[in-house]
Amino acid sequence: MRTLLIPAAIAALVAATPIAFAAQSASGTVKAFDSKAMTLTLNDNQTYMLPNGFKDPGLKPGTKVNISWDQSGTHRQAEQVTITK
């Protein structure tokens, strides 16, 4: 019986692992955008690190955005930033 439980437990752990790394999302209004530091801060004071090679779609204070992000240590790493109406 034990020989069946161990592989089943390992399979369940492996199957659940991708869920823990799924991207999160946030939406809000841009408070600050720093193209040199590659950061974007929303009005709720959450700051997101932008990826290298990020192309500014016209971000400026007051712009409403949706952000798809992942946690990287203590930083929120933006994967995608889209402007909303």
What are 31-69's pLDDT values in tens digits? 999 999 999 999 999 999 999 889 988 899 999 999 999
What are 4-35's pLDDT values in tens digits? 566 666 666 555 555 445 689 999 999 999 99
Pair of tokens at residue 5: 């439980």
Task: Let me know the angle formed at the C-alpha of 26 by 21 and 27, rounded to the nearest 5 degrees.
Answer: 160
Domains and CATH numbers, the chain: 23-83 (2.40.50.320)
Indicate the burial class of 55 (C-beta count within 10 angstroms; 0-12, 13-18, 19 or more). exposed
pTM above 0.95, yes or no: no
